[in-house]
Each structure stands twice: as structure tokens, then as C-alpha cells.
Amino acid sequence: MTLSVEKTPKARHPLPEPEESDALYEARKQIYPQSVSGTFRNIKWGLLVGGMLLYYFLPFVRWDRGPDQPGQAVLIDLANGRFYFFGIAIWPQEVYYITGLLILAAFTLFLMNALAGRVWCGYLCPQTVWTDLYLLIERWTQGERRERMKKAGLPWTPRTLAEAGAKHALWLLVAWWTGGAWVLYFADAPTLVKQLATFDAPAQAYIWIGIFTATTYVLAGFAREQVCLYMCPWPRIQAALTDEWALNVTYRVDRGEPRGSFKKARLLREAGQPAGDCVDCNQCVVVCPTGVDIRNGLDMGCIQCGLCIDACDSVMTRIGRPKGLIGYDTDLNVDRRAQGLAALKPRVFRARTIAYMVLILGVAAAMGYSLATRHTLGVDVMHDRNPIYVALSDGSLRNGYTIRALNKTGSARDFKLTLDGLPRGQLEVLGRKSSGALDVRVEADQTLELRVMVTTPPDATPPQSTPIKFVLTDPKTGEQASRADFFKGP
């Protein structure tokens, strides 16, 4: 990495006076991030590669659920209303699990913010990850920062056209693969890939691939930092959730100022005068993907990616000064250093973080317990409303119900349907009468709807409204599910 000589203002530009400009917004300045190597860059590369491999190839992971069941480990089966995640199958009636996952994600994001600010934005956000990949492609095809800036101001030549064409072709390839991978989560991946290749796939698949291709290409290739600065609400929300103990990328003003060239700082130190470690090389600015100068203090545009730390540490090593001029630090320590006090060690466990951890563990434990103890069968009951009951000619009473029996396993099952609450009540399904239990067969991973009549004899007329319960039992396993309702009398 070579030191850049570009200079940026040490303070933010003031807003233009109304008489000088009628523009409501500052014009966008093209940002050409420079490559950098170091600890945080390596962490980002590792997360990028791991995240990409997981996203692109997870649909092809197989999971045996038995005959006539989908063999894809992770599948969102909209046609049948199922969500499969390895050994777990979520039914539409269990949408609360999806709600629980969203709650867990929110609390985890809050905890990450309380510990290290916008660490999600800098390392894990899809916008950041795909933008990093697009920047890597841009460097491969068009060169480093200086080369790209130089070519941007020159007329087109066959070489620059070829480089730009290669860049956009690779960008579109990545965007297309991104959209293609997304639709694979909604159908059997190998089958859909074959259909897409032979143009036999459903039209919806091509439409969604086109949508995701276009959005990935535009957001990661052109919008980039504009998404973080203007489109994403998280920078504005997270400021209300942080505190003085949260770690943020921080410039050590007490060490860096007064800044100046390396030669000037050396002469000042030899003369016994104060001199800062910052040599004003601007490397922290040129490597920033959003163009922030961290030396001006915390900025909403800073995504806390740590690349400026790598750049600054590299410079400090070359000039023989200690690392850490830019690093993760707390607002509390910034204030303490300004007062000449010693810095404090970061506190991971404090009221805010403990509360988030307890909430995360509580929700996760509740979901885990619910999954471990949930039934593989279910029953739903809906009482007829018109008429609510029928008095037969022999004096007996009849109520009608629509009952749905659910089989949440991968094989057909035989159940027993019984009635509690009416000792002499009689069940009838499709002409089959029973004073005990009715045999019900439900196919694998299916719901069976039954039209059930409950009749009481003339000499056992119930009160105006009697609580009853329908019970569905698997005789082989003893597992039961029940649903309460009522039997209406005159």
C-alpha cells in the first residue's frame, strides 16, 4: 500500500448561504475506496466468503424427510404453506415461530449495537458485503484507486471500454447469481436449476431473478454508500440505542493532534515541542467506503468497518509510532482523555447488554421448548352458526361442526376422534355413527376436513349451552390434541 497525497478538508463544509446557491442537497462526490490489508480487512474477507458460500449453496444441501417429502434442507414451500429448516417443518398455524425469529434478530441487533456500534453495518449487512465484492471486481478490472480516478477523467479508449465492459459483465453475473440463488429457496433447487436452464421454469422465477439482478446491480454497483447515508434507517435508529460504553471506531485526538507531516513532527519533538502522531497522510479517508474522515469525530456515514484502523496502523508501523491512533473505543474514554484522565476498560456486561442477553436467551429458550414439545398432530373446530342447532322429530338435538385434523409428519396416520363433555353424545361423519370414537385417516403432511354432527338422545337434552371438547388421538403413540367448543341446546 502506498501513501496517498490527496487532501481532504479537516472540517466539514458549512452549508451554502441561500444567496450563493439554490441547491437543497449537496451534489454526490464519487468515492474511489483504496484497497487495504490488515486484521479488520481479513475479518471482512472471511465473513464475505463464508456468507456468500452459505447463501449461494445452502439450497443444494439435502435432508431426508421420508418418501413423498421435499428433500431440500432449507425450503420455503409457498404452494403447500410450509417452511422447512433441516429437521423442523413450520406450518401456517405456527407462524409465531417466524415472529419469534424476528424478535430474536431485533434483540441481537440491539445487543451488537450496545457492544460495538454499527458492527452489523460494517461486517454483515448484505449491502456492505455485496459492495465489497463489487469493489473487488472493480479493482481487478480497472485497477487501484489512482488508476480508476485517472481513467474517469479521460476519453474512452478500446482498453478502458474493454475494462469497463468486463467489470459490468462480472457485476451482472454476480447479480444474476444472487437473484437465481434467492428463488432456489422456494423450490427444489436442482429441479429448478434444470428448468431455468431449459427455459421451462415458471414465469415467476424469471421475474424474481430479474428483480433481484437489477436491485443487486444498482445498489452494490452504483448506489453503494448512498444506501447507507440516505436509504437505510438504521444509522438514525441506532443512535437512540447506544450509550457511552459502546465501542466505536475513534480517532485518538490526544495522540494525533497537532497533526502535521512526518518531518515536521520529528523536528518538533527534537525541539521539545508537542507534536501529534497523525502525519495527515489521509489514508484513513481514502480507504473508507463511505468517504468519512474519522478525524472529524463520529459521523452518521461511518459504518464502523475498521478499514481506517488497518490503514492507520500500517502507516504508524512504517513511521515507527505505536499502533492504535485509530481504534475501537468508547465515548466515555474519549471524554476522559480530553480531561487528562486514564482510559477505562470496556464493560461488556452492564445493565443494557445484560437485559438484551436475558431477552435473547428467554425468547430462544421459549422457542426451543415449544419446538421440543410441540404436537405432530392438531385439530381445529368451527361450530355451525346457521342454524346453531337443529331439533329432530324424535326430540333429539343436533349440532354441526367443521373439524380439521392435521397430520404434521411425513407418513399417513390413523387417528381416533372422540367427544368429551356429553356422556351420551353421538358422533356422525359421512353416515358413520359412533357413541365412542371415530376412525380418521389423514395422509402425510396433510389436513383433512370433516363434516361432523353431534346428536343427543331425546331423554338427554343438555342445558342451553354445554362445554364440550373434541379430542384427536394417535393410538400408536398416545399423542393427543384437543379443541374446546360448545353444544347448543334450546
Q: For residue 307, how far is the Cα from the chain centroid?
A: 23
Residue 419 three-state SS: strand
> What dihedral angle (degrees, nearest 10) is formed by the CA atoms of 246, 115, 232, 55?
160
Inform me whether the pLDDT recorded for 42 exceeds 90: yes
What phi and psi, each to the nearest 5 degrees, are found at residue 122? -80, -25
Inform me whether the pLDDT recorded for 318 exceeds 90: yes
Q: What is the pLDDT of residues 472-490, one digit of tens each?
A: 999 999 999 999 999 998 7
What phi and psi, each to the nearest 5 degrees, are found at residue 246? -70, 135
Which pLDDT belongs to residue 16?
45
Q: What is the pLDDT of residues 227-267, one digit of tens each?
A: 998 899 988 888 888 889 999 999 999 899 888 888 888 88
The x, y and z cell numbers of residue 294, run together, are: 474519522
Which pLDDT belongs to residue 15?
40
Find out whether 208 and 183 touch, Cβ atoms under 8 Å: yes
Q: Nearest-CA neighbor of 307 among 115, 47, 34, 2?
A: 34
Find the mean pLDDT for residues 138-150.
Answer: 94
The x, y and z cell numbers of residue 310, run together, are: 488497518
Q: What is the pLDDT of residues 46-79, one digit of tens each?
A: 999 999 999 999 999 999 988 878 999 999 998 8
CA atoms lying within 13 Å on the CB side of residue 180: 19
Average pLDDT, the chain: 89
Cα(173)–Cα(185) distance, integer angstroms: 19
Cα(74)–Cα(184) distance, integer angstroms: 10
Higher pLDDT, 218 or 28: 218
CATH number of 377-488: 2.60.40.10
Which pLDDT belongs to residue 165?
96
Which pLDDT belongs to residue 140?
96
Q: What is the pLDDT of residues 159-175, one digit of tens each?
A: 999 999 999 999 999 99
Q: For residue 100, how far is the Cα from the chain centroid?
A: 13
Q: Where are the domains of the chain?
A: 39-60+125-231, 247-338, 377-488
Which pLDDT belongs to residue 24?
63
Cα(345)–Cα(343) distance, integer angstroms: 7
Q: Which of 48-52, 299-303, 457-461 has the highest mean pLDDT?
A: 48-52
Could you tell me which residues come within 8 angstroms of residue 220 by beta carbon, excluding any fewer than 6 positions away? 127, 130, 131, 133, 134, 171, 175
Distances (CA, A) of 67 to 63, 64, 70, 71, 364: 12, 8, 8, 9, 31
DSSP letter, residue 294: G
